[in-house]
Chain A
């Protein structure tokens, strides 16, 4: 198992180098560079040159890349062009927000999606099955921002139960040593703040989790349907195991493999930032930050941010592979 993990970790190096080259080239393929973007198109050639010299943008591209690699290897992702702050400190501020939202969204998606898919498969062809299909279809196709506005309208504007923007009520003073507001509230022993943070998480989590929920429900359903027709399930039933045990030990555990994959992929996607959800809920995460950086051609943010997000994605996938091995011993052998 350790060798398996070590090998996968080693593979990370070429993957990350490849990614960094791709990101580096892709950003430079964007029309108009950061100097023009900062100065406007009628900026004088001298000022453009000055900015380009300052940021090393006038060097040949392979030298730029090499220089960049050296800085990154030392753990410095550079300074953002707009805010003049270290990219790493911006990531430190934003990534916890994204993780917190992702975890909440996945909790919602998994805790509703798996039972929904499981029940649908067990009641295959009945109205339960049909309505779960319709529900997941809605979940996949409803635009996130629309769902978000709808949720806010019902649960905040009309019912007044939940807040609509931000991570915590602005009248609450809370230190943020970790950046995870739930943790921060618990560390401070402030239960009122904790509850407030949870309330702020509910609607964004539902909005963001709607698509993963639908996908997870459908995959669970399909996977359970597949597995419950397997010979070993029939055998288990034939030898008189109680249906609940068959469900849990033989069907569910085997059906989990594709579900784990899909949860992992969804987690990776969500961690790279949810632009729409973040915008609608004024949630200060990675997504809106990166999108804004694209618009402003903020190379250091794009390079650092995308590299970071890619690393997270690859690591999450590694975690998924490891969990496979835990669920299914056959993978460890191969």
Chain B
């Protein structure tokens, strides 16, 4: 387990482990709060009861993370999960075989073998506690190239693959023996407003921006028929999604009226940043989005000054430091299905990206996290569906609650890490896309 706590080993794994769980006896990060863990007892062979030191609303969602997966203590010991050599020159080199040859956990499949760069073979675990797997055997192969995956599927060398390119959907749907299985989106693309840049501190100007963005046109034109206009930060599948919020339709006249009310002379000049040379799952082509938004803003009483920079580290650095003009294009792919992962990550403390300090909002989010909501038995679901297979993970929650403010300090750097980790610069659209998705599914395991 040493490598998990090592900084940078697996940013999301170590971050979530530290921030949401706080370690066992003590938290490995000094910045963070005391451990959430009090005790764990096995009530029967398939039930573990974890007692916490205080209520936690986020832990349940975070439990789908790798860092929290339950492993066999016997196997951990027998196969030397903690063993390794620590070399001053090159760091930790694990020597145990738990992670590579004997990963014994609680899932529906049993590990058979792993040939590096070739295949992982799993077979159905007959004594699985839940609904048994339908497949006798599951072989996972690494095929990095999108076109190669499609051709391998067409040639019946594989029976399914994840992360279909939008342009391949037609081919698959047009084929008699292939089909596409959709899964709900788990990300959001947005235009960020930096309130530290005047006149963005004015609510009316922000509302004018909202009315000046033709989001419907962007979704219809650039998302291959597979996007929807978002009305809030998180996707509808996430617990806590609000069914009715104030909606801002595209309305240039209303935008101009708002600017007038704000006492500004039109056109109002604003700097609008977008990243170059990158494709994100939530934003296949940033330039397309930018151009459409700039055009609609220009019709709404604004004068857009276009600015761009390479994605990483230039663009992301600017966004995170609050140096990406008045407006910037960006988005987020969730790590787990909890509102905290979408809203808390961005709005629970001061974030230079948005440049506002709203103690009331911060406190509301803190409270939401740290106090029980009295909604017993609510269900949270994290879904991952691919073209070939579907996985549902359900966890039942008794209380919904909590969180401690001190975890904040590392949120900002975590956001940045998360983004850069799965965001290779100068790669083809497909590759960048794929990488991020892969990263997603890894996180979901």
Within 8 A of B (CB), among A66-98: 67, 71, 78-79, 81, 84-86, 93-94, 97
Q: How far is the CB of B275 from the nearest CB of chain A, in Å? A: 14
* Pairwise interchain contact B3-A84, C-beta atoms closer than 8 A: yes
Q: How far is the CB of A282 from the nearest CB of chain B, in Å? A: 4
Tell whether A30 is near chain B: CB-to-CB under 8 Å: no
Considering the chains assembled together, what is the distance between the CA atoms of A279 and B118 in angstroms? 13
* Pairwise interchain contact B148-A165, C-beta atoms closer than 8 A: yes
Tell whether A258 is near chain B: CB-to-CB under 8 Å: no
By a CB distance below 8 angstroms, the chain B residues around A132 are none
**Number of A residues with CB within 8 Å of any CB on chain B:** 51
* Pairwise interchain contact B118-A166, C-beta atoms closer than 8 A: yes
Proximity bits, B144-155, A CB within 8 Å = 1, else 0? 110110011011
By a CB distance below 8 angstroms, the chain A residues around B416 are 40-43
Considering the chains assembled together, what is the distance between the CA atoms of A71 and B155 in angstroms? 47
Complex: chain B residue closest to A86, CB-CB: B93
* Pairwise interchain contact A40-B11, C-beta atoms closer than 8 A: yes
At the interface, is chain B mostly helix, strand, loop or mixed? mixed
* Pairwise interchain contact A79-B91, C-beta atoms closer than 8 A: yes
Interface size on B, as a range, is: 35 or more
Considering the chains assembled together, what is the distance between the CA atoms of A156 and B150 in angstroms? 12
Q: How far is the CB of B32 from the nearest CB of chain A, in Å? A: 13
Tell whether B417 is near chain A: CB-to-CB under 8 Å: yes
Q: How far is the CB of B355 from the nearest CB of chain A, in Å? A: 16
With contact pairs A41-B317, A42-B415 given, residues A67 and B420 touching in the complex (Cβ less than 8 Å): no
* Pairwise interchain contact A47-B141, C-beta atoms closer than 8 A: no
* Pairwise interchain contact A84-B148, C-beta atoms closer than 8 A: no
By a CB distance below 8 angstroms, the chain A residues around B151 are 149, 152-153, 156-157, 164-165
Considering the chains assembled together, what is the distance between the CA atoms of A163 and B153 in angstroms? 11
Task: Give the residue among A164, A168, A281 with the most B Cβ atoms within 10 A.
Answer: A164
With contact pairs A40-B419, A42-B412, A282-B142 given, residues A84 and B93 touching in the complex (Cβ less than 8 Å): yes
Tell whether B406 is near chain A: CB-to-CB under 8 Å: no
Complex: chain A residue closest to B321, CB-CB: A42
* Pairwise interchain contact B7-A50, C-beta atoms closer than 8 A: yes
Tell whether B87 is near chain A: CB-to-CB under 8 Å: yes
* Pairwise interchain contact B141-A160, C-beta atoms closer than 8 A: no
With contact pairs A40-B413, A282-B142 given, residues A157 and B155 touching in the complex (Cβ less than 8 Å): yes
* Pairwise interchain contact B89-A40, C-beta atoms closer than 8 A: no
Tell whether B443 is near chain A: CB-to-CB under 8 Å: no
Complex: chain A residue closest to B140, CB-CB: A170
User: Which of A6-14, A51-59, A114-122 is found at the contact surface with chain B?
Assistant: A51-59
* Pairwise interchain contact B93-A85, C-beta atoms closer than 8 A: yes
* Pairwise interchain contact A43-B413, C-beta atoms closer than 8 A: yes
Q: Which of A40, A85, A168, A288 contacts B417 (CB 8 A)?
A: A40
Tell whether B360 is near chain A: CB-to-CB under 8 Å: no
Complex: chain B residue closest to A152, CB-CB: B151
Complex: chain A residue closest to B99, CB-CB: A84
Tell whether B51 is near chain A: CB-to-CB under 8 Å: no
Tell whether A39 is near chain B: CB-to-CB under 8 Å: yes
Tell whether B254 is near chain A: CB-to-CB under 8 Å: no
Within 8 A of A (CB), among B303-337: 312-313, 316-317, 320
23 contacts between A and B (CB under 8 A): A39-B8, A40-B417, A41-B313, A42-B317, A42-B412, A43-B417, A47-B7, A54-B88, A56-B89, A79-B91, A94-B117, A149-B151, A153-B151, A163-B157, A164-B151, A165-B141, A166-B118, A166-B143, A170-B119, A170-B141, A171-B139, A280-B148, A282-B143
Instruction: Please report A residues at the B interface, Cβ cutoff 8 Å.
Output: 32, 35-36, 38-44, 47, 50-51, 54-56, 67, 71, 78-79, 81, 84-86, 93-94, 97, 149, 152-153, 156-157, 160, 163-171, 176, 279-282, 284, 288, 295, 300
Give 4 new A-B contacts, CB below 8 A, not counting A94-B117, A157-B155, A282-B152: A40-B421, A47-B8, A163-B157, A165-B157
